[in-house]
Structure 1
Amino acid sequence: MSSPSAAQATRLRRPSWRDARLLVGVLLVLLSVLTGAWVIAAADDTTGVYAATGPLLPGQEVRESDVTVVSVHLDETAAAYTDASGGLRPGTYALRAVAEGELIPAAALGSAREAQDKTVAVPLDPAASASLKVGAIVDVWVSRRDPDQAGVRYLDPELLLERAVVAEVPRAARGLDVGVGRAPVSLVVPASEVSAVISSVDQEARITLVPAPGQGGGEGS
């Protein structure tokens, strides 16, 4: 028969790691900690984006004082807004109006060159413009009417503008039915060249778009 002191020593013995109840307790504690960390992380699943502290006008240089960082839940729409994690780049300009307090779309900010560019529509043959793609970089060539010839005759083509960007292609030109006549294709051109492009259109010059070197865009005329 064991002595009282031996029985007491047995009761006070430190639990073994092999004790199933101890292992279950440890696992429950770990599970609780991990669950809590996940809940906290999920609750703070936000994205830092810029919002305008005041109205932003097209062509305005945007500085740090013009924006503020806000944390919002955007999910898959986050890419549509200006990410604030990298800071605001010097030489950033507003490309369109943004209201005070509005989240700033990524497409609303750009470079000084982009802020000065304008969109001009030029008429092209739909069959030729069918090969154009939005975003293609093209050189603009024009063949002006020959005023010394009877009827409709054109002079030799000349380069009017280099590296214009195709902003919009007629919907019909993107499908199988390209239609007839001439359809407007929108080009983004520097502000200094807008008058020259419009003048060529008004004079009914024949306009041809040639893919710029290194581009795989289409051609229109």
Structure 2
Amino acid sequence: MSAATSTVRAGAQAPARAARRLQRPGWRDARLLVGLLLVLLSVAGGARLVASLDDTTPVYAAARDLLPGQQVGEGDLVPVPVRVGDRLDRYVDGSAGIEPGTYLVRQVAAGELVPAAALGTARQALDKTVGVPVDTSAARALASGSVVDVWVSRRDREAVGEAYLDPELLLAGAVVDTVPADTTGLGAGLGRTTVQVVVPATDVGAVIAAVDQEARITLVPAPRSDSGGGGR
């Protein structure tokens, strides 16, 4: 083969090799795929970082010291951003308004996040629990949540021996808080036991006076109450 022929063939192959070197990489090129994957991971990581910076929700905090029995008014609570957590549902949602007639049932210090259990109705905030002595056998007909009317038969101080005046209604629509567990079982029908009754603050004094004066107290289940009997 002559030198001229070899030179011609070499010149023809050179452009082909150069064309292959300048060819754009395809989608199957491993380096291109790795590069795209790194870009996607970087974008996703940045998005998560931005989202985490705003991963908060508002809850209410006390603007000042709040006392039990106090009605919650404008300016008493302020919304503050708190990072989302597993126990966040324990606090009052700061994105919702406070219902009119909301009261404090426990003290909340200034700056403290307001627990949901710290807010309630006027009755929950102002009512008190008073122990009322009744016959143990009759207490078995009562249960926590029973609605009862409180009747009293006061002692007749002028009578000889143990005597009582006619019963009178002392309180209507009281709620039984707890009934002692010892109202059932052997000997449960003997003696007297103390039933805890929720009493409005305005009637607490009258109920305590009846107890202190050793009046005979009868708890009569109100209509539509869950329990079907009464207690004395």
* Same fold, TM-score > 0.5, yes or no: yes
Which amino acid is 1:139 matched to?
Answer: V
How many positions carry a matched residue from both structures?
216
Q: Distance in 1 between matches of 2:186 and 2:63?
A: 48
When normalised by structure 2's length, the TM-score is 0.67
CA distance in 2 between partners of 1:73 and 1:79 (Å): 12
Partner of 1:120: 130
Query: Could you tell me how far 1:137 is from its partner in structure 2?
Result: 4.5
Runs of 5+ consecutive residues of structure 1 not aligned to the other structure: none
1:161 match: secondary structure = strand
Aligned to 2:151: 142
CA distance in 1, matches of 2:62, 2:187: 43
CA distance in 2, matches of 1:110, 1:132: 23
Does residue 96 (structure 1) correspond to residue 106 (structure 2)? The answer is yes
Q: Distance in 1 between matches of 2:130 and 2:68?
A: 17
Residue 55 (structure 1) aligns with: 65
Does residue 189 of structure 1 match 2:216?
no
Answer whether contact 2:62 2:110 (CA < 8 A) is retained: yes
For residue 3 of structure 2, what is the aligned residue in structure 1?
none
Distance change (3 Å), C-alpha of 1:178 and 1:168? farther
Distance 1:189 1:206 in 2: 14
Q: For residue 15 of structure 1, what is the amino acid of its counterpart?
A: P
1:119 partner amino acid = T
1:204 maps to 2:215: yes
Over the aligned positions, Cα root-mean-square deviation in angstroms equals: 4.0
CA distance in 1, matches of 2:131, 2:169: 19
Alignment match, 2:172 = 161
Cα pair 2:154 2:210 within 8 Å, conserved: no
SS across alignment from 1:65: coil
Looking at structure 2, the residues matched to 33 and 110 of structure 1 have their Cα atoms a distance apart, in angstroms, of 47
State the shift of 1:68 in Å.
1.9
**Contact (CA 8 Å) 1:120, 1:188: kept in 2 or not?**
yes
Q: Decide which structure has the larger Cα Rg and report it.
A: 2
Residue from 10, 16, 29 that aligns with 1:19: 29
Q: CA 1:81–1:165 in structure 2 vs 1: closer, same or farther (change >3 Å)?
A: farther
1:124-167 per-position Cα deviation (integer Å, ceiling 9, x unaligned)? 4456358623xx151224252574796456856858311x3344
CA contact (8 A) 1:211 1:218 kept: no
- Secondary structure (helix, strand or coil) at the match of 1:51 reads strand
Q: CA deviation at 1:66?
A: 1.7
Counterpart in the other structure of 1:72: 82
Displacement, 1:86? 1.1
Unaligned segments of structure 2, at least 5 residues? 1-8
Asked if structure 1 preserves the Cα contact closer than 8 Å seen for 2:152 and 2:170, the reply is no
Q: Matches of 1:120 and 1:153 in 2, distance apart?
A: 22
Distance 2:45 2:74 in 1: 39
- 2:116 alignment partner in structure 1: 106
Q: Secondary structure at the residue paired with 1:139?
A: strand
Contact 2:131-2:197 within 8 A present in 1 as well: yes
Instruction: Note the alpha carbon deviations across 1:34-62, whole angstroms, 9 max, x for none.
Output: 44544555565544322112111233332
> How far apart, CA to CA, are the structure 1 residues paired with 2:41 and 2:184?
57
